[in-house]
Structure 1
Amino acid sequence: MYMQRFEIFILGSLLAWGMVTVLRVGRRRHGLPPGPRTVPLFGNALLLANGKDLHLKLTDWARSYGDIFSLRIMTMTMIVLSSPTAIKEVVDKHGWVASSRPGNYIGEICGSGGDVNLIFAADSPRLQKIRRVVARFFSPQNSLRYIPAENAESTVLLNDLITQPAAFSDSIRRYTHSLAKIMAYGQRAPSFHSEEVQEFYTALDQLIHALGFGTYPPFDLIPALKWVPPPFAPWRAVGVHIKSVRSAMHTRMYEGVRRRQAAGDAESTECFIGKVLQSKIPEGDEEAYSHTGLALLDAGSDSSAAFLLSLVLVLATYPECQERARAEIDAVVDGMRLPISEDFPKLPYLNALIKEVMRFRPQFPTGVPHLMTGDVVYKGYHVPKDSMVVLNTYALFHDPEIFEEPEVFNPDRFLKSEHGTRPGVDNTDFRDNFLFGGGRHLTSMRLIWALKFGAATDPSTGKPLSRELDFYSSEGSVVMPKPFDCVIEPCSKQHRDAVVHGLVDAKLFLGRYEG
C-alpha cells in the first residue's frame, strides 16, 4: 500500500511539474521589456499568426510599450527596438554579441545559401570574410565603374515607359533586375518577358512567400516539426522545387561567367562573380562565394524595384512635388540632354524627395533580424542571449516625437534638417544608413526630368482615382505598392526625342552585356 501511494505521489508530482513547465512556455520572464499579454504555451504567437503587415502591428505596440518591448513566441524571445537610441545602445554598441542572425529552416531547404547567406546565416569568420569582400566590391569607389551601365539601362527604361506606359511595373522590374545582373554576373536582361527573367521572378516570389512570417509552421521554435513525414509536409516539396529552380539558374549564370572569361570577354572579369573566379579563394569556399551572387541579384532586383514603384506612386499622387522637383532639375540641366550623376549634388529638393519616399514607405520596415549571442541591458531591461532583435524602422520613421506629422508626405522636412526630424530633436544616434539609396539618384532624376506621372481616372466617372497611399503589400521582408494604375507621358516632344537619341548609344554600350 505504501509503495502504491509513493508511486502515485511520484506520478502526480511529475504530471504537476510537466503542467507547470508547459504553462510557463510562452510567459514573459522577469526582467524582460514589457509587451502585449501572453497566453500559455503560445505566448504572443497567435497575435502574429497571419504574418501580414507585421511592421504596423509592431508600430502600434511601440506606441503603447515604448522604444523597447518584448514578444514571446512560444520558447523564443523577440526584442523590438523602435528608436535610434535603442538601436544604437543595444545593437551598435554591442556589435560583438548582436551581429549574428537567427536560424531559418525554410531558407535552408529552399537553398538560399545555408551558412553563408548574407541575411539569414549565423555569424562566423567565414561569413564575415564574405561580407568584407561584398563591401569592398560595392564600395562607393568601385561602384563608379557601373555608372555607364546605369546611364544606359535607365535610358532604356525611359524609352520603355514612353512606348509602353501601361506596363510600367514590368519595365521597372526588368530595369532593376538587369542592372543587378550586370553587377553580379556581367550579363543584362533585355526583356522582362524572357524565359530567364520570368523564371527568376517566379522563383523569387515563391521564396519570399515561403520565408514570410506565418506561412509555414515555426520549425526553428519546434525542431521536431522538421521530421514530419513528407506526405504531411507540403513545405518540403515547395522547398525542393524552389531550390532546384534557383540552383539551376545560379549554375547557368555562374558557368556563363566562367565560359565568357575563358573566351577573353572583358566584362566577365569586372562583375562580382568574375572577381570571385579571379581571386585566390580557399578550397571549398568557391560555392559559398558564388551563391552570394544570386543573393545580390535577389536584393538588387526586389528592393530597388520596390523603391522605384513607390516613387512613381508618390509622383502620381502628389503632382505639386513632382513639378517642383522637375523645375529644379530643369534649372540645372542645360538644354535637352539627359541628366547625369554629376547633376545630382545641385538638386537639394530632389534629394529631399527621395529621402522622404524612403522614410514614408521604407522598403525594409523591420530591417534584418539579429540574434543575440550575449546579454545586454538597456533602460534596466534584460536583452537576453539567444533572443531575436528586430529593428522597427517603420515605427522610428513614423514617430511623431521625432518627425513632425509623420503620416504626411513632406520632402521639405529634409531641407530643414539632415535627417528630416523635428526642431530640437537630438540626431546624434541616427545611423547614416537609416536612409540610403545612392544608386537610385540617377534613375529618379531621369524619370522626373523626362516623364509626367498622373493619377489614373475611374472609367465610370472620369475622375482621378483615390490619392490614398495605404495600399502596400508587406509579404516577406520587402514592402512595395500593390499593383496600381497611373498615367505616364513624356514631358514634351523634345524630351521624347532626347530619350530616343540617347537610346542609340545606350543599346550600343549594353551590347557588351549580351550574348
Structure 2
Amino acid sequence: ALFFTGVGVCLVKQVFKKKIPAPYPPGPPGLPLVGNVLDMPHIKPWLTFTEWGKKYGECNISHVELLGQHIFVLNSVKTAMEMLDKKSSIYSDRPVLPMSGELVGWKHILSFLPYGDRFRRYRKNFHRVIGSCDALAIYNPIEEIETHRFLKRVLATPDQLQEHIRHTAGAIILRISHGYEVKDNSDPFVDLAERALDNFSRATSPGAFMVDFIPSLAKVPEWFPGAGFKRLAREWHETVDEMASAPFNFVKDQMAAGIAPKSFTSAMLEGRILTAEENDIVRWSAVSLYGGGADTTVSTIYSLYLAMTLYPDVQKKAQAEIDDVVGPDRLPSFADRDSLPYTEAIVKEVLRWNAVAPTGFPHCVAEDDIHDGYYIPKGSMIVPNIWFMLNNPQTYANPSQFNPERFLVNNGKKPEPEPRTIAFGFGRRICPGLLLAEASTWLSTVRSLAVFDISKVVENGVEITPEVDPSTGTVSHPKPFKCSIKARSAKAVALIQQDVDY
C-alpha cells in the first residue's frame, strides 16, 4: 500500500515535469515512474556507488532518480572540491531527511541544519572551543588522563577492547562538552550515546527509508501496512530527546550548585540570561559536539587495533620510533607529536584505510546548477563517495594494504595525498571536530603502541586472522574481531599502573 501511494505521488510529479536545460550525468537507467528505486543499495552503498562510477562515471558523477528525488554521487576528490568547496555558496545546504531529521528528531544537530544563521552560530561556538590547536590545548590534560585510564582498562580486560574504546571516547567528549566525568563501568550517558548514535547511523543510511524520498508518507499512521518505520522513529525519538536533555540538565544543576567544572556548555551558559532560542542553540550545539565525538573516534581507534593485528611490521617500526624518541621511563604526550613522523603517518593511514563515514553526509544544492555540462536541479542530494576517494588505486597504491609509508617522503618519491582533506568532508560542511578527532586518535595510537604488543589470537594452536569487513551505516565500524593485547615489558606495566596525575 505504501509503495503504491509513492507511485501515485510520482505520477503527479511526472505530469508537471519541466523541460531540463542540460542532460543529467549518466547512471543506471531505472524504470518508468519509480526511477531507480530498485537500484538504490541498502548494504554498503559505497561499493555500489563505486561500480556506478566505473560503469557510468566518465564525468566522475553518477545520477539516479528515486520517485522524483535526484541523487548525484561524486566519485572523485577533484569533482567534490569543484562542487562542494569552490561552489560552496550553493552546495552547503542539507536535504530535509524526513526519517532521521523530522521523525527521529536529529534535525537540530549541526549535521542536519540548513545553511544559514543558526548553522553559523553553532560553528562559531565550536570554533571557540575546538576550532584551533591553541583552543584544544586546554583539554590536553583531559585527553591524557582518560587515555591513561584506557590503558589500565585494556591491560586488565583486553577482551573488552571495543567497550573500553567507546567508554574512553565518551569520557573525553563528555568532559569537554558537559564537564561530566564518566563512571568506571556502564556509564548512563555513554550508554545513551551508544544507543542514540547506532540509531542515527541506521536512520541516515542512504536509501534505507522510503519516507526520505516521499515525505508525504510521514503522515501515515503507525498501523498502516508498511508503516513500521513510524514505530521505529517514535522509539528512536525518545532516545534522542534524552540524549539532548539529560547531560544539559546535569550542567545546569551543577551550575546552580556552584560546582560545575569548565566545559563547552557551562562556558556558553555562564553569566548570560538566554532567550529560549539561545538556550536551545546551546543545548543542541552541545549534543552535536557530544554526538560527533562519541562514535566516529571509536571506529577509528578500533580500526587502529585491527591494523596493528594484521600488520605487525608496521607496529614494530612505530614502536622503534617511540622507544628512540620517548624512551621507556614515561608515557608519550602531546609534546612528542612533532618528533614522531612515522606514528603521525599511522594516524593518517588509519583515517584512509578505515573510512569512518564512507558516504559522508549528503549535501543539498540550493539552486539549479550546470556542472561540466550536466544539469543539477535545485533540491538535489549530493553524496560524496568518500570510501572510494580514499581507496582509489589511481591515488593510493594498493589501497587495501595498510601502509603508513605512503605519507612519508621515500627516496625522493612524493607522499600520497593527505586523507584528512577527504575523510572529514568538504566545503563549509567539513567536520568542525577534525582537530579533536585527530588529537584523540594520535594519543591513543602512540600510547597503545608504547606499552602494548598487539597480535593475532591463537586458539587450539591455530592463529586467527581477523576479517576486514566494515559495517553498513552512515558511521561504519570494523566487524568485531579478536586480538591478543599484552604489555611489552614489566616497565610498561609499571607505566600503565602508575597513578593518573597530570
Report if TM-score (shorter chain) is over 0.5. Answer: yes
Number of the residue aligned with 2:238: 244
Structure-1 separation of matches of 2:290 and 2:387: 25
Residue in 1 aligned with 2:464?
Answer: 465
CA contact (8 A) 1:98 1:372 kept: yes
TM-score by length of 2: 0.87
Q: In structure 2, what is the Cα distance between the partners aligned to 1:247 and 1:426?
A: 40
CA contact (8 A) 1:23 1:40 kept: no
Q: Which of 307, 315, 322 is the matching residue for 1:329?
A: 322
Q: 2:50 aligns with which of 59, 71, 81?
A: 59
Q: Deviations over 1:308-334 (max 9, x none)?
A: 000000001101100100110111103
Structure 1 contact 99–372 (Cα < 8 Å) conserved:
yes
Render the CA deviation track for 1:261-290: whole Å, top value 9, x for unaligned.
2222251xx211112212564542311320
- Bigger mean CA deviation after superposition, 155-164 or 493-502: 493-502
1:398 to partner: Cα distance? 1.5
Match of 1:390, SS state, is strand
Residues 1:90 and 2:91 aligned together: no
What SS is found at the alignment partner of 2:167? helix
Equivalent in 487, 502, 505 of residue 484 of structure 2: 487
Structure 1 range deviating more: 235-244 or 327-336? 235-244
* Percentage of pairs with the same residue: 26
User: What is the distance in 2 between the residues matched to 1:351 and 1:107?
Assistant: 36
Distance in 1 (CA, whole Å) between partners of 2:354 and 2:197 is 22
Distance 1:92 1:33, change over 3 A: same
Q: 1:212 to 1:433 in 2, by over 3 A?
A: closer
Q: Distance in 1 between matches of 2:40 and 2:11?
A: 25
2:308–2:314 CA contact under 8 A, matched in 1: yes
Partner of 1:509: none
Measured in 1, the distance between the counterparts of 2:415 and 2:497 equals 49
Q: 1:357 to 1:200 in 2, by over 3 A?
A: closer
Aligned-partner residue type, residue 463 of structure 2: P
Give the CA deviation at 1:185. Answer: 0.7
* Distance across 1 between alignment mates of 2:423 and 2:355: 15
Q: Distance in 1 between matches of 2:445 and 2:284?
A: 30
Equivalent residue in structure 2 for 1:137, among 103, 108, 129: 129
TM-score, normalisation: structure 1: 0.85
Conserved 8 A contact 2:159-2:482: yes
Q: CA deviation at 1:371?
A: 0.4
C-alpha distance in structure 1 between counterparts of 2:385 and 2:208, whole Å? 21
1:105 aligned to 98, 117, 130, which one? 98
Q: How does 1:51-200 map to 2 (within 5 A)?
A: 51-64=42-55, 65-66=57-58, 67-114=60-107, 116-140=108-132, 141-200=134-193
- Is the counterpart of residue 501 in structure 1 residue 498 in structure 2? yes
Rounded to whole Å, the distance in 2 between the matches of 1:291 and 1:426 is 35
Q: Alpha-carbon deviation of 1:445?
A: 0.5
User: Cα–Cα, structure 1 residues 55 and 405, in superposed 2: closer, same or farther, change >3 Å?
Assistant: same
Structure 2 CA distance for aligned equivalents of residues 432 and 45 of structure 1: 28
The answer to whether the Cα contact below 8 Å between 1:272 and 1:293 also exists between their aligned partners in 2 is: yes
Alignment of 1:21-32 (within 5 A): 31-32=23-24
2:282 equivalent to 1:289 = yes
Listed as ranges, the matches of 1:182-221 within 5 Å are: 182-216=175-209, 218-221=210-213
1:449 is matched by which residue type in structure 2? Answer: A
1:255 aligns to 2:249 (yes or no): yes
Aligned partner of residue 149 in structure 1, secondary structure: helix
Give the Cα–Cα distance (whole angstroms) in 2 for the partners of residues 336 and 192 of structure 1.
Answer: 30
Tell me how far apart the structure 1 counterparts of residues 156 and 308 of structure 2 sit (CA, whole Å).
19
Deviations 1:312-361 (A, max 9, x none): 00001101100100110111103320100011111111111111111112
Question: Do 2:406 and 2:415's aligned partners in 1 also have CA atoms closer than 8 Å?
Answer: no
Tell me, yes or no, if the aligned pair for 1:68 and 1:79 is still in contact at 8 Å. Answer: yes
2-side partners of 1:497 and 1:404: how far apart? Answer: 41
Equivalent of 1:348 in 329, 335, 341: 341
CA distance in 1, matches of 2:242, 2:364: 31
Q: What secondary structure does 1:46 align onto? A: coil
Give the one of 375, 389, 398 matched to 1:405. Answer: 398
- Aligned equivalent of 1:363, options 338, 346, 356: 356
Question: Which region of structure 1 is more displaced relative to structure 2, 170-179 or 99-108?
Answer: 99-108
Q: Secondary structure at the match of 2:105?
A: coil
Which amino acid in 1 is paired with 2:43?
Answer: K
Task: Go from structure 1 to structure 2 and tell me whether the alpha carbon gap of 1:42 and 1:432 turns closer, same or farther (over 3 Å shift).
Answer: closer
> In structure 2, what is the equivalent of residue 443 of structure 1?
444
Q: Does 1:310 align with 2:307?
A: no
Looking at structure 1, the residues matched to 244 and 93 of structure 2 have their Cα atoms a distance apart, in angstroms, of 26
Larger deviation, residues 171-180 vs 237-246: 237-246
Q: Which amino acid in 1 is paired with 2:462? A: K
Q: For residue 298 of structure 1, what is the aligned residue in structure 2?
A: 291
1:58-77 Cα offsets, whole Å, 9 max, x none, are: 12222221422212222111
The offset of 1:449, in angstroms, is: 0.5
Shift of 1:424: 10
Q: Evaluate the alpha carbon distance shift between residue 173 and residue 160 of structure 1 in structure 2; reply closer, same or farther with a 3 A threshold.
A: same
Question: Match of 2:183, SS?
Answer: coil
Matched, 1:224 2:216: yes
Out of 160-169 and 27-36, give the one that drifted further: 27-36
Instruction: List per-residue Cα deviations over 1:426-484 (Å, max 9, x = no partner).
Output: 98x9669569723321111101111111112243xx22123542x1112x211111111
Q: CA 1:227/1:20 → structure 2, altered by over 3 Å: closer, same or farther?
A: closer
SS at match of 1:45: coil
**Does the 8 Å CA contact 1:28/1:72 hold for their aligned counterparts?**
no
Q: Which runs of 4+ in 1 moved over 4 A?
A: 18-25, 27-30, 279-283, 422-427, 429-436
Superposition deviation, residue 36 in structure 1 = 1.7
The whole-number CA distance in structure 2 between the counterparts of 1:304 and 1:424 is: 25
Whole-Å separation in 2 of the counterparts to 1:245 and 1:215: 20
CA distance in 1, matches of 2:467, 2:196: 31
Residue-by-residue CA offset, 1:78-136 (whole Å, 9 max, x unaligned)? 1111222111211111111111100111223455343x321122222122222221222
Q: Could you tell me which of 253, 259, 263 is aligned with 1:265?
A: 259
What is the root-mean-square deviation in Å for CA atoms of aligned residues?
A: 2.9
